[in-house]
Amino acid sequence: VQLRQGGSSFVGLCPFHAEKTPSFRVSRDRQTFHCFGCGKGGDVFTFVMEIEGLNFREALESLAERAGVKLDMARGDRGKTSSRTSGKTRDVLEEAVRFFRESMSGPGGEAARAYLDRRGLSAEDAARFGLGWSPQSWDATSKHMASKGFSDVEIFEAGLSVKSERGSYDRFKGRVIFPIRDDAGRIVGFGGRLIDGEGAKYVNSPEGALFNKRKTLYLMDAAKRSIRERGRAILMEGYMDAIRAHMTGFTETVASLGTSLTEEQAALIKRFTELCYISYDADGAGQNASIRGMYVLARHGVDVRVVALQEGLDPDDALSREGGVSAFASALEKALPLPMYHVRARKKYLRVPGKRRGALLEILTGLASLPMLDIAEYIPAISREIGILEHELRGEIDSKRRELERAERRSGIRENKKSAISAEGIAGDSGVYINDGENAHDRRSLDLECAFCSLLWRDAELRSRWSCGELIPLFADEATSGMIAALASGEPPADLESRWRSMGERMSFERLARGDAVLAGGGLGPEFADALVEAIRTNALKRRLKHLEPLKISGEATSEEIGEYFELMRKLKGRA
């Protein structure tokens, strides 16, 4: 990252998202970084974890190696056993990668090479993506691994063999092999494609010490740089879809290893971009998978759009056809946002009397789960598509949203929502806001809380000024309220930091880095603490008022809540 001096800190273009105006700040004094554009922040360990896709232990080892420091990592038998097991499993998998590659190019790999040739992949393409071949023999892989010194238990735990009543056999025998790597490029498992005979078309490695299908996206290691540079990800379904996309220049493509996108996979995409294009198969199953995946991504704050392919084609087919690359690029430009795609996908049901009601209910429920800002611009078009007047459609969405909120309250599930009201005149005037978008007020509110945490973290005298009971109810953000509880109750920052490191806790470090950047950008010091508390207290009052207002309007508020509502109005008027 190219940095230049900017006041008391350094500024530059953020490496975690595409931007033209620098919003990435580094504090030499505090030894932290924070981006006001995408919100990422922390210390040197957090930076390496984010940029390289490593966990804390791996980042620590990497930095220690660069600094010439020898680490003693043997802390606790359980940790040592787990580390040894994972390390041994990866050794087994890496040797298997070599064996499968050699088998592909050897005399026994002719069937696999012919299959790839039919699919339009050359030997160079196979090498680029590490494709291999598991021989037809029942135990060729296991015998090779044993010859390299690995035990039957280690081979089994790596997912390469399967046990049965008649003995063990190779899991992937007779299959083209697709190595699966995590976003840091480390081997975690395999996918095997059957090319002849009976059996499941695709088989993946079993869940184990390294492989977790829910947390993995195929080719993310190869795609993450392009995703950051281009500011978008393209999500496909299968191995060949993603490979074809990379071969034709769409190197920001990943695959979900199946049709159902998981919450963990959506969170992984969100780490690298806030814009994702879904390109699943054009059949009914692909449409339904696209809709499910879109809402999962939307819940994680990702702007998501669907690429419409010609009926009957999958992305591999579409990109392989003559003129397919330009046609796919055009389809990307015309990709539909979530609200419009959901309506278009259900349009045929909207015309059938017996199915219209169910389709409308599904669409309204989906729209009600999204922020109004995300759907407002599409209301006129949706109104025309489903045959409901705009004001009636807005009313139906609002009604469904209240219904969902009531259901959450009744079941005891409350979403932790940040305040949408800022503390005017404090964070808003500090001069540190670079990319204020639709959530500018939310950002200011969170900035106040993070700044206060940073002050307490670095000033022992301030930590004794307020009690836990006095401060905690004022904080909306779960991470900052947790820090406040620990700091105000007397837990030393050094002990907190040690515990967070051992737990792999990153959010708290990000919050502190954000607070550091706010304080540095505004030139604020400990004398500002009282004003911060008052601003945070005002936000808490407004947050409670915002919660009570819809209850009062809908007639659901109790007499006590109505009294509280007017008392809050009086207090806030006095603070204005």
Rounded distance, CA 48 to CA 45, Å?
Answer: 5
Instruction: Give the chain's mean pLDDT.
Output: 83
**Sheet (strand 187-194) strand order:** 132-134, 175-181, 187-194, 202-204
175 or 412, greater pLDDT? 175
Q: What is the pTM of this model?
A: 0.62
* Least confident segment among 55-64, 116-125, 244-253: 55-64
* Least confident segment among 41-50, 298-307, 386-395, 463-472: 463-472
Task: Kindly indicate the confidence band of residue 574, based on its pLDDT and cuts at 50, 70 and 90.
Answer: low
- Contact assessment for residue 283 and residue 312, using Cβ atoms and an 8 Å cutoff: yes
Which pLDDT does position 245 carry in this prediction?
97
List, for residues 41-53, the tens digit of each pLDDT value: 888 988 988 887 6
351 or 240, greater pLDDT? 240
* Least confident segment among 52-61, 147-156, 174-183, 339-348: 52-61
Which pLDDT does position 153 carry in this prediction?
92
Closest residue by Cα to residue 41 from 473, 539, 446: 446
3-state secondary structure 166-228: CEEEECCCCEEEEEEECCCCCEEEEEEEECCCCCCCEEECCCCCCCCHHHCCECHHHHHHHHH
- Whose tokens are 């993070």? That residue is 450
Which pLDDT does position 576 carry in this prediction?
54
pLDDT at 16 over 90: no
- Whose tokens are 């009543």? That residue is 165
Rounded distance, CA 207 to CA 189, Å?
Answer: 9
pLDDT at 349 over 50: yes
Which pLDDT does position 48 carry in this prediction?
87
What is the distance in angstroms between the CA of the first residue and the CA of the last residue of the chain? 43
Task: Kindly indicate the confidence band of residue 542, based on its pLDDT and cuts at 50, 70 and 90.
Answer: confident
Task: Kindly indicate the confidence band of residue 148, based on its pLDDT and cuts at 50, 70 and 90.
Answer: very high
Rounded distance, CA 214 to CA 144, Å?
Answer: 30
Which pLDDT does position 414 carry in this prediction?
36
Q: What percent of the chain is modeled with pLDDT above 90?
A: 29
Which pLDDT does position 521 carry in this prediction?
64
pLDDT at 537 over 70: yes
Which pLDDT does position 431 carry in this prediction?
31
pLDDT at 117 over 90: yes
Which pLDDT does position 353 carry in this prediction?
83
